[in-house]
Amino acid sequence: MSETALSQADLQQIRRDLHQIPELALEETKTHAYLKALIVQWQTPWVEIREVPELPTALLVRVQGTQPQRTLGYRTDIDALPIEEQTGLPFASKHPGKMHACGHDMHMTVALGVLHHFCMTQPKDNLVFLFQPAEEEEFGGKKLYDLGVFKDEWRPDEFYGLHDNPALPAGQIATRQGTLFAGSCVVRIVFSGAGGHAAMPHLTNDALLAAASFVTSVQSIVSRNLNPVDAGVVTFGSLHAGGSVGNIIADEAKLIGTMRGLTQVNLEMMMDRIQRIARGTAETFNVDVDIELEQGGYQPVENDPDTTARFIDFMEQDEASDFTIVDSAMTAEDFGYLLHQIPGTMFWLGVNDPSHNLHQAVFSPDEAALLPGIQSITRFLTWRMAQN
């Protein structure tokens, strides 16, 4: 690999290596080892590598600036999803039932490309790169923050990060002021009643009937509680009740779903409403209910006004970058938690796979996005270092 810049062939090889070893949240041991081995090869006197014993798959890299005015942070996620890959690619996942179906292999490759540049060319400002585990589950960003990782010289003054977008052209950068991604909350509900014979329903308390009524009722949360100009989603994707026959009334029904909102205020209102509806349903059908809401670190990705204004100004004026403004999306990202603690900006990187979507087994991002993405981000960070 070049000592001055990674070529497109270098980047493709890195991405394909990472694509073949997808690992789930907090299990990213091979990925961590691969990343560390590469970065050690590039290590120069101004580069420090840090590991976190309490979260051993995390990796941080600090690049000391020549005349630092600030510390700029850049974050990438490193985990994968429990999906059996169906792309048929020659470099498809070697780990059965696991796949980089959200494009974190692309995210990591871009981050490595930017880091490599500043390993070879010492920056003016300090830089902190975070290779973060557990974005898809377990909210690794919040875990690291709660562990006190971002203190003293390891605390960025500004934080940046990207997510790939299959609907945008390869290499295009896109963002917006305000909320880019929604916050989300996992909802787990268990209704418990008394089962019995289908011919004697009066002697039972039907948990399945309660669950069905509940799923219908919660659709009113968005339509009747959220301002029509705002956006929110309530979806239950899992309902398990009863056994394998149809003449036994279920004594238990378990539901798992998600709620999403573009502001934390709206999401908290939705959390309150879903609990009220669940308790009311239980009372109506004379069953018990257990409610678990887990937001963790998945707060709305709310871009900081100042960092985002600078980012947009640069990208709009940089003739070498393809840039556009986009609307908010209902996808969720645990970078939102870090942006609630440290000002910063998240943005999309187009990867040109419009026929497929994130989290699909056939998702196949265009590697042509890698080099222009790295170059745009590197130019922006270099430009930011020249500002007061």
Say if residue 116 carries a ligand binding annotation: no
Axis crossing angle, helix 305-317 with helix 370-385, rounded to the nearest 10? 120
Total number of residues shown for the chain:
388
C-alpha of 243 from chain center:
36
State which of 267, 294, 321 marks the end of a domain: 294
State which of 247, 264, 294 marks the end of a domain: 294
End-to-end CA distance of the chain: 35
Residue 313 lies in a domain: no
List the catalytic residues: 77, 136
pTM: 0.92
Q: Are residues 19 and 135 in the same domain?
A: yes
Q: Are residues 135 and 37 in the same domain?
A: yes
241 beta partners: 253
Mean pLDDT value across residues 355-374: 97
pLDDT of residue 351: 98
Q: Cβ distance 81 to 345 under 8 Å? A: no
Q: Could you read off the pLDDT of 203-253 as tens digits, one per residue?
A: 999 999 999 999 999 999 999 999 998 999 999 999 999 999 999 999 999
- What CATH number corresponds to the domain at position 273? 3.30.70.360
Domain holding 99, by residue range, is 8-171+351-385
SS3 for 136-191, per residue? CCCCHHHHHHHCCCCCHHHCCCEEEEEEEECCCCCCCEEECCEEEEEEEEEEEEEE
Q: Residue 152 phi/psi, 5° resolution?
A: 55, -130
pLDDT of residue 2: 47
Say if residue 252 carries a ligand binding annotation: no
Q: Binning pLDDT at 50, 70 and 90, where does residue 267 land?
A: very high
Helix (H, G, I), strand (E, B) or coil at 27: coil
- Total domains in the chain come to 2
Q: Binning pLDDT at 50, 70 and 90, where does residue 388 land?
A: confident
State which of 294, 323, 338 marks the end of a domain: 294
Q: Are residues 199 and 244 in the same domain?
A: yes
Residue 277 lies in a domain: yes
Rounded to whole angstroms, how far apart are CA atoms 206 and 196? 9
Tokens (6 digits) for 374: 């790295």
**Tokens 């004026």 belong to which residue?**
317
Q: Are residues 89 and 163 in the same domain?
A: yes
Mean pLDDT value across residues 275-289: 98
Residue 66 lies in a domain: yes
**Tokens 């669940």 belong to which residue?**
278
Q: Are residues 219 and 113 in the same domain?
A: no
Is residue 1 predicted with pLDDT exceeding 60?
Answer: no
> Residue 81 gets which letter from DSSP?
B
Mean pLDDT value across residues 276-299: 97
Q: Are residues 53 and 150 in the same domain?
A: yes
Q: Could you read off the pLDDT of 72-119 as tens digits, one per residue?
A: 999 999 999 999 999 999 999 999 999 999 999 999 999 999 999 999
Is residue 20 predicted with pLDDT exceeding 50?
Answer: yes
Residue 159 lies in a domain: yes
pLDDT of residue 5: 84
Q: Which of 332, 338, 278, 339 is nearest to 304 (CA)?
A: 339
Is residue 15 predicted with pLDDT exceeding 50?
Answer: yes
Residue 375 lies in a domain: yes
Is residue 345 predicted with pLDDT exceeding 50?
Answer: yes
> Mean pLDDT for the chain?
97
Neighbours of 123 (CB within 10 A): 22
Q: Are residues 266 and 355 in the same domain?
A: no
Axis crossing angle, helix 8-19 with helix 29-42, rounded to the nearest 10? 160
CA-based R_g, the chain, Å = 23
Q: Which of 199, 190, 169, 308 is nearest to 241 (CA)?
A: 190
Q: Are residues 151 and 214 in the same domain?
A: no
pLDDT of residue 3: 55
Q: What percent of the chain has pLDDT over 70?
A: 99
Say if residue 136 carries a ligand binding annotation: yes
Residue 315 lies in a domain: no
Q: Are residues 275 and 226 in the same domain?
A: yes
List CB contacts of 180: < 8 A, sequence separation 6 or more.
Answer: 301, 302, 303, 326, 328, 329, 346, 347, 348
Q: Are residues 151 and 271 in the same domain?
A: no
Q: Could you read off the pLDDT of 305-336 as tens digits, one per residue?
A: 999 999 999 999 999 999 999 999 999 999 99
Q: Binning pLDDT at 50, 70 and 90, where does residue 4 land?
A: low
Residue 176 lies in a domain: no
Residue 81 lies in a domain: yes
- What CATH number corresponds to the domain at position 53? 3.40.630.10
Q: Cβ distance 366 to 323 under 8 Å? A: no
